[in-house]
Amino acid sequence: MPELIEDTLRILTRITNSRTIMLLKLNDLEISVLSFVGDDPGKYVGFNSSLFDLYQNSGIDSVSVENLPECKTLMSELQLQSCFIKNVYTISEQNETVYLIIFLDGVNNLLDTENDAIKSVLKVLGNQVKAEYYHDSEKIFAVSEKSIDASAVTDNWEDNFNRLLTISSDLVFILDKDGCFLRVNNFGAMMLDYSEPEMIGKHFLDFVEPEKKIEVSIAFSKMLLSERVIKIKTTLITKLNKKVPVEVAGRTITKDENVIGMLGICKDFTKQNKFEEELKKLKPKLIEAHRLISLERSRKWQYNSLIEELDRLKNEFVSNISHEFRTPLASIIGFSETIVSDPDLPEEMKAEFSLVILNEGKRLTKLINDILDLSKIQIGKLTLNRTTFDLKKMLKEQVEDNRPAAEKKQITIEFEYSKEETFLDADKEKLEQAFDSILSNAIKFTNEDGRIKVILNNLLEEVEVIISDTGIGIAEKDLPYIFQKFYRVSRPGTEIPGTGIGLVFVKQIIDLHKGLISVQSELGNGTTFIIRLLKNISIKNSRG
C-alpha cells in the first residue's frame, strides 16, 4: 500500500509540475514523514521541525507555513517558488492529521484545471491513507458513527474525561510540577480512605510508605527527565494506616517544553498480591497432588500390566494343561486299544502295557489333584491334616518312587540323612505332594547323566531338606517369579512341558506349615531348593 501512496504522489508531481511532495503525519507528540517524492529528504528536516512547532502552537495552513522562516530559507536554497499544504485525513479523537505538502518549482499559483485534478487525486489519497494507516480506528469509529454524532462526543471531551475519572476504580491523579495533588478522582481518594478535598494540595510522597519514599522520588525524577511513561510498584498508606500495594504509572505534562505537572494512575494490587500469596501457599499442595496423581498413574499402569500378564499366563496355562492331559490320555487309550484288539498279545507285554496305563493314570490323577488343590488355594480352602510321622522314612520312599524316572535318564539320585529320628507334626500327604513336585522337577530339568541329591538335616527345632540337582538351572531374572501362578521359565529352543502350578502349590503347603522355602540356582549349573519345617506344631506360634 505505501507504494500505491507513493504512486499517487508521483501522479501529483506530474499534474503540478512540482519537484517535491511530502505526506506528513502530525499529532501532539511527533511529526513523521509517511511518504516522500522528490529531492533529498534530509534537506527538509529543519522545515519539518518548525512545522511541528507551528502545528502545536497555532495550527497549520498554507499561508502560515509559507511564512515560516525555515520555509523561506528552504525555498530560496532549493529555488522553489511556492508551498501548498492540503489536509488529507484527520483523526480527531487522536488529535492527528495527515497533510500533503507540495513545493512548486516554476509557478506561484495553480491553474483551475490543475486544482480540480488535485482535488480528485486528494480524494483517492485520503482513502489510501485511511486504508493503510487507520483501518483499525476506522472500524471503531464506524460503529460509533452509526449511533451517535462523533464530534458532539469528542468536542465535549473534557466533560467526558471528568466523568471517566468519577467511574474509575483506580486512583487517577494530576500533580503540579512540585508533586502535589491538583486533581484526584473520588474512588481513588476512597481507596486511601480520604475524600477528594483532603488529598488536594498534599504531596504524593505524603501517601507513600516511609521506606519506599526514596525509591518513588527517584522514579519521579526520572519521569521529569523523560517524556516516557514511568511505572513503579510501591506501597501507599491510607488514612487509617493500612498499607495498599499499588502500581503507579505516570508521565509529565509539558507546555512550551517546560514541565507543568504530572498525571498518573495507581492500580491497587491488594487482591492480586493476595491471590499470589494463596497461589504460593497452594503450590506445595499442587506439587504433592501432582506427585500423587503420577504415583496413582504408575500404580494403575503396573496393575494393568499385571492383569495383562496374568491373562497371558492363564491363556498359556490352558494350552499347556490340555497338552499335559492329552499325552497321558493318548498312552492310556493307545495301550488299552492294543490289549483289547489283540487277544493273542503275550502276557508279559500285556503286563508291561498295563503298567504304562497305570502310571499314566496316576499322572493324570496327580495333575487333576494339583489343579483342584490350586483352586482350593485360590479360595483359601486348603487346610492341613496333621499327624506325627517320620520325615526320614517319607523322604526315602519319595526318592525310591522317583528313582525309576531318574534312571531312565541315567540320573543318579542320592539321599543323605543323619541317624537321629526326625519326627514331624505335619500334613504327610501334602508334604509328599510338595517333595514329589520338587523331585520330579529336578528330574525333568536335569539332563542325562546328571545328579540329584536329597539331604535331610536334623536341627534343634526344625528339619531342613535340601534337594539339589546338576540340571539346566534358572536364570537370576526368573528366580523371583517361579513361585507365581502359571509362571514358566521360557527356554527358547528347549521347551519342556509343564503347567506352572507345581511350585505354587509347593510354596502354599510350606507356608501353611509356617515353614520356609528358598531357591538358589545358576543357569547351566543346577538348582537347589531348601525347605525348613518346624518339628512340632506347638512351636509354630513362636513364628507367628
Where on the chain is the footprint of ligand ADP (CB under 6 A)? 437, 441-442, 445, 469, 471-474, 482, 488-489, 498-504, 527
Contact 65, 91 (CB under 8 A): no
Taking the complex as a whole, the smallest distance from the CB of residue 468 to ligand ADP amounts, in Å, to: 9
Calpha distance 313→499 (Å, rounded): 10
Taking the complex as a whole, the smallest distance from the CB of residue 397 to ligand ADP amounts, in Å, to: 20
Q: Which is nearer to ligand ADP, 264 or 471 (CB)?
A: 471
Contact 359, 335 (CB under 8 A): no
Taking the complex as a whole, the smallest distance from the CB of residue 529 to ligand ADP amounts, in Å, to: 7
Taking the complex as a whole, the smallest distance from the CB of residue 414 to ligand ADP amounts, in Å, to: 16
Q: Which is nearer to ligand ADP, 154 or 518 (CB)?
A: 518
Phi, psi (rounded to 5 degrees) for 468 = -120, 150
Other beta carbons less than 10 A from residue 401's beta carbon:
14
Long-range pairs, 232-241, Cβ under 8 A, ≥24: 233/269, 234/208, 234/209, 235/208, 235/209, 236/192, 236/207, 236/208, 236/209, 236/266, 237/192, 237/207, 237/208, 237/209, 238/191, 238/192, 238/193, 238/194, 239/192, 239/193, 239/194, 239/198, 240/193
Taking the complex as a whole, the smallest distance from the CB of residue 500 to ligand ADP amounts, in Å, to: 4
Q: Which is nearer to ligand ADP, 75 or 371 (CB)?
A: 371
Determine the 3-state secondary structure of 265 from DSSP.
Answer: strand
Q: Which is nearer to ligand ADP, 297 or 314 (CB)?
A: 314
Taking the complex as a whole, the smallest distance from the CB of residue 362 to ligand ADP amounts, in Å, to: 17
Give the residue nearest to ligand ADP (CB).
Answer: 498
CA 153 to chain centroid: 51
Contacts for 191 with CB less than 8 Å, ≥ 6 apart: 169, 170, 171, 238, 244, 266, 268
Q: How many CA atoms lie within 13 A of 297 on its CB side?
A: 6
Taking the complex as a whole, the smallest distance from the CB of residue 513 to ligand ADP amounts, in Å, to: 18
Taking the complex as a whole, the smallest distance from the CB of residue 467 to ligand ADP amounts, in Å, to: 8
Q: Which is nearer to ligand ADP, 488 or 532 (CB)?
A: 488
Taking the complex as a whole, the smallest distance from the CB of residue 343 to ligand ADP amounts, in Å, to: 39
Q: Which is nearer to ligand ADP, 105 or 436 (CB)?
A: 436
Q: How many helices (H) and strands (E) does the chain have?
A: 17, 16
Burial 292-328 (b: 16+ CB within 10 A, else e): eeeeeeeeeeeeeeeeeeeeebeebbeebbeebeeeb
Q: Which is nearer to ligand ADP, 201 or 480 (CB)?
A: 480
Q: Which is nearer to ligand ADP, 185 or 440 (CB)?
A: 440
Q: Which is nearer to ligand ADP, 85 or 454 (CB)?
A: 454
Contacts for 312 with CB less than 8 Å, ≥ 6 apart: none
